[in-house]
Chains A and B, each alone.
Chain A
Amino acid sequence: MQQSATTERRHVESVRHEEHAGFWRTYVFSIDHKVIGLQYMMSALVFLFFGFSLMMLMRWQLAYPGKSIPGEVFVLLPAVISAATLVIALISKRKLIGLVGLTFAGLAALVWYLVSDEVLFPDGVMVPELYNSFGAMHGTIMVFLGVVPLAVGGFGNYVVPLQVGAPDMAFPRLNMMSYWAYFIGGVVMLASFFVPGGAANSGWTSYPPLADIATTGQTVWLLGMVFLITSSLLGSINFIVTIVQLRANGLTYMRLPFFVWAQFITAFLLLLAFPPLEAAAVLQLMDRLAGTSFFLPSGLVISGQALEVSGGGSPLLWQHLFWFLAHPEVYVLVLPAMGIIAEVIANNTRKPLWGYKSMVYAVIFLGFMSFIVWAHHMFMTGMGTVISTFFQTTTMIISIPSVIILTALMISLWGGSIRFTVPMLFALAFLPMFGIGGLTGLPLGLAPTDIHLHDTYYVIGHFHYVVAPGSIFALFAGLYYWYPKVTGRLMNDTLGRIHFWGSFFAMNGIFFPMLIQGLAGVSRRLWDGGAEYAHAQDTLYLNEVMSISAWVLAVFQLPFIFNFFWSIRKGKKVESDNPWDATTLEWQTPTPPPHGNFAMVPQVYRGPYEYSDPKSPKDYVPQNVA
């Protein structure tokens, strides 16, 4: 009796607490999964833009090596975005949009600071050390601060609890800590640009011995990674517990939306693959700070001077530990994207997904296999035939589940009455783009062909097809698709279409020529884009094509950014809580969902995609309808 009285009092208190939660508790230190999801989303979008900006500067050097960079033009872009968002903030009276505007102003200032620095840009030409730094930080920022936080931290956080019918994540405070660990990690990474010697410059892979003896930026990079790893560890535990423990009544595993399945497997990958990288980061920190030689072999000579360390370490050890994470990480980038695509395709074809069960089994198998393919990144390290054969076999096997998922999604289109909405356009483009990314990966997974292609632009082209017009298109699809649930308004359709078609052509303009250059043998990570190499001469003209495409891509993001902020207050209002006529639970909530999500605890009666059921009056039956 006393027990229930306390529970009741706690309940009343928690309600009162929500009503009086001030600005800080509501927007900054919130424990509501939706606010945390949006925090992740906004931070990740800014980081994506910043990572892209680094690349735009690098592309100038690649297209016009040794020519002075027009710094003002590159500052113009973030400056325009900043001005536009500030104006929108004034018109729609939203302080938070103003904050984003100020962030972009900060970015513009950072770009200006870098470009006008006489040491980094003597006579306006980027020095090779800075090029290396930008390359390393572009990779790090895009993967660890951009795509994964957006896909998992952003969409996962916002959508998963809604789709499983939960009031919040299982551990709301842990969720908040996860975001702030990510935020600190991001700040540390940005701060590394200002330490002596600049940011990390040993590539996003940080291979020793180079990384062991690199400038201070590498130490800061490792510290930043420790924060980011902590963040995703907390997040992944939270996701798994939420999906297993907080599923609504009747929501069996085979009734989960595919997006939830994708996030579930992703969480396991983060949980079990990241710790080895954390261990590797600790060992590298020891090498750099305590003078150990875990990754330093004996007899190293640098610039004619013998290195004063005990030696005996193994640079390959780092590669093993790094790729033990980084291969599963590829699937962390891709699986949530596939999940979003599955939701959008089912909704816009008005058909159940074809082969839902085989997709689920495929994604489980894929997650498992992703742990035993890592050494296919190391064919060139002198591995013997036995181990090469083992890893190229597992690599060929892991392509099967990806093909199953992609094929099932394509067959799902067959015979559907497709609505070509903006999210659907991005989803449709994802299929062939990810297809190119996947197929170009096969020659890299086979040791004999990899010997030619290793470390060329072909590799860059391959994985960018997977993550840029692949994952990032899926993320755009998700942004357009769930926007009305978050804001209660739709994004402008015409601007969305301009954004899509521009991005689609520009993306291919950037990445397809890379495959050609790579086949011609042009190495990656060259400061001059290959200008000094005889074998690169025939494909050198492509550098300009790629660079111009990259800048065009940037221009076509402007309608998106404008649309995104403008529509928060001025977009067309949705007429119902379920504007896309969707079946899954997140659409059966008020718009936007309040703290605690559901007005009543939902009961689930059916699978996730019951569209075009001839027996029902409408063409769809939501999961919670008996």
Chain B
Amino acid sequence: MDHITTEDVKKHVRGYVIVFVALMALTIVTVAISYLHLDVTAAIIVALFIATVKGSLVASYFMHLISEKRLVYLTLILTVVFFAALIGGPLLGLHDTIQ
């Protein structure tokens, strides 16, 4: 954040307001959908999809991940890979057991 001008920050601020509105809208959508009582698989997919969109908005704009440095990306990519292993390994173990 070394070379950010006043103009840039003002532009950012407008962005934050838009993101805030989007987050609010998505919150309403996800709660509304939950009252439709979809079947479990569909509900999980929709809810996690919306959560991922919301999460990405927070990470990209509030946490400025959209314009971060290479080193931060590398760290996070590594973390995501291990995160996937942490979720996937135990699940695989659950589905592949000797009967």
From the candidates A244, A374, A383, name the one contacting B97 in the complex (CB within 8 A): A383
Query: Are A386 and B82 within 8 A (Cβ)?
Result: no
Query: Are B89 and A320 within 8 A (Cβ)?
Result: yes
CA distance A272 to B76 in the complex (A): 11
Query: Are B93 and A371 within 8 A (Cβ)?
Result: no
A:371-394 near B, CB below 8 Å: 371-372, 374-375, 378, 381-387, 390
Q: What are 11 contact pairs spanning A and B, CB under 8 A?
A: A272-B78, A317-B90, A320-B93, A371-B85, A374-B89, A382-B97, A382-B98, A383-B93, A383-B98, A384-B98, A385-B96
Query: Are A383 and B96 within 8 A (Cβ)?
Result: yes
**In this assembly, does A268 line the interface, its C-beta being within 8 Å of a C-beta of chain B?**
yes
B:68-99 near A, CB below 8 Å: 71, 78-79, 82, 85-86, 89-90, 92-93, 96-98
CA distance A554 to B97 in the complex (A): 46
CA distance A381 to B89 in the complex (A): 14
* B-side interface mostly: helix
Quote the shortest CB–CB distance from A144 to chain B (angstroms): 21
CA distance A384 to B92 in the complex (A): 9
A:53-111 near B, CB below 8 Å: none
Query: Are B82 and A371 within 8 A (Cβ)?
Result: yes
From the candidates A244, A268, A368, A378, name the one contacting B93 in the complex (CB within 8 A): A378
Interface size on B, residues (CB 8 A): 13
Query: Are A384 and B97 within 8 A (Cβ)?
Result: yes
Chain A residues, Cβ within 8 Å of B86: 276, 324
**In this assembly, does A548 line the interface, its C-beta being within 8 Å of a C-beta of chain B?**
no
CA distance A378 to B78 in the complex (A): 25
Which of A276, A371, A385 counts the most chain B CB atoms within 10 A?
A: A371
List 15 other contacts, CB 8 Å, given A272-B82, A371-B85: A244-B71, A272-B79, A317-B90, A320-B89, A320-B93, A324-B89, A368-B78, A383-B96, A383-B97, A385-B96, A386-B92, A386-B96, A387-B93, A387-B96, A390-B92
Quote the shortest CB–CB distance from A143 to chain B (angstroms): 21
Chain A residues, Cβ within 8 Å of B97: 382-384
Task: Considering the complex, give the chain A residue whose CB is closest to the CB of B90.
Answer: A320
Query: Are A387 and B78 within 8 A (Cβ)?
Result: no
Task: Considering the complex, give the chain B residue whose CB is closest to the CB of A387.
Answer: B96
Task: Considering the complex, give the chain A residue whose CB is closest to the CB of B85.
Answer: A372
Task: Considering the complex, give the chain B residue whose CB is closest to the CB of A272.
Answer: B82
Chain A residues, Cβ within 8 Å of B96: 383-387
Count of chain A to chain B residue pairs whose CB atoms are closer than 8 Å in the complex: 40
* A-side interface mostly: helix
Task: Considering the complex, give the chain B residue whose CB is closest to the CB of A240.
Answer: B75
Chain A residues, Cβ within 8 Å of B79: 272
Quote the shortest CB–CB distance from B1 to chain A (angstroms): 16
From the candidates B71, B78, B89, B98, name the one contacting A375 in the complex (CB within 8 A): B89
CA distance A244 to B79 in the complex (A): 18
Quote the shortest CB–CB distance from A603 to chain B (angstroms): 23
Nearest 9 CB-CB pairs, A to B? A384-B96, A320-B90, A387-B96, A386-B96, A382-B98, A371-B82, A382-B97, A387-B92, A372-B85
Quote the shortest CB–CB distance from A472 to chain B (angstroms): 29
Quote the shortest CB–CB distance from B96 to chain A (angstroms): 3
Query: Are A316 and B93 within 8 A (Cβ)?
Result: yes
Interface size on A, residues (CB 8 A): 22
Task: Considering the complex, give the chain A residue whose CB is closest to the CB of B96.
Answer: A384
> What residues make up the interface of A, taking CB atoms closer than 8 Å to B?
244, 268, 272, 276, 316-317, 320, 324, 368, 371-372, 374-375, 378, 381-387, 390
CA distance A268 to B77 in the complex (A): 13
User: Contacts A382-B98, A383-B98; is A375 near B93 (CB within 8 Å)?
Assistant: yes
Quote the shortest CB–CB distance from B99 to chain A (angstroms): 9
Quote the shortest CB–CB distance from B69 to chain A (angstroms): 11
Chain B residues, Cβ within 8 Å of A276: 86
Chain B residues, Cβ within 8 Å of A390: 92
Chain B residues, Cβ within 8 Å of A324: 86, 89
Quote the shortest CB–CB distance from B79 to chain A (angstroms): 6
CA distance A276 to B83 in the complex (A): 10
Chain B residues, Cβ within 8 Å of A383: 93, 96-98
Quote the shortest CB–CB distance from A276 to chain B (angstroms): 6
Chain B residues, Cβ within 8 Å of A320: 89-90, 93
Quote the shortest CB–CB distance from B81 to chain A (angstroms): 8
CA distance A219 to B96 in the complex (A): 33
CA distance A487 to B77 in the complex (A): 43
CA distance A390 to B89 in the complex (A): 10
Quote the shortest CB–CB distance from A139 to chain B (angstroms): 24
Quote the shortest CB–CB distance from A230 to chain B (angstroms): 19
CA distance A383 to B82 in the complex (A): 21
CA distance A324 to B90 in the complex (A): 10
Chain A residues, Cβ within 8 Å of B93: 316, 320, 375, 378, 381, 383, 387
Query: Are A268 and B90 within 8 A (Cβ)?
Result: no
CA distance A244 to B72 in the complex (A): 12
B:15-70 near A, CB below 8 Å: none
Quote the shortest CB–CB distance from A270 to chain B (angstroms): 13
Chain B residues, Cβ within 8 Å of A374: 89
Task: Considering the complex, give the chain B residue whose CB is closest to the CB of A279.
Answer: B86
Chain A residues, Cβ within 8 Å of B90: 316-317, 320
Task: Considering the complex, give the chain B residue whose CB is closest to the CB of A324.
Answer: B86
Task: Considering the complex, give the chain B residue whose CB is closest to the CB of A367.
Answer: B78
Chain B residues, Cβ within 8 Å of A375: 89, 93
CA distance A610 to B38 in the complex (A): 68
Chain B residues, Cβ within 8 Å of A384: 96-98
Quote the shortest CB–CB distance from A363 to chain B (angstroms): 15
CA distance A375 to B96 in the complex (A): 13
CA distance A546 to B61 in the complex (A): 62
Task: Considering the complex, give the chain A residue whose CB is closest to the CB of B71.
Answer: A244
Chain A residues, Cβ within 8 Å of B98: 382-384
CA distance A382 to B93 in the complex (A): 9
CA distance A525 to B92 in the complex (A): 30
CA distance A386 to B93 in the complex (A): 9
CA distance A387 to B96 in the complex (A): 7
Chain B residues, Cβ within 8 Å of A381: 93
Chain B residues, Cβ within 8 Å of A386: 92, 96
Chain A residues, Cβ within 8 Å of B78: 268, 272, 368
Quote the shortest CB–CB distance from B77 to chain A (angstroms): 12
Quote the shortest CB–CB distance from B32 to chain A (angstroms): 32
CA distance A368 to B82 in the complex (A): 9
Which of B85, B86, B98 counts the most chain A CB atoms within 10 A?
A: B86
Quote the shortest CB–CB distance from B88 to chain A (angstroms): 10
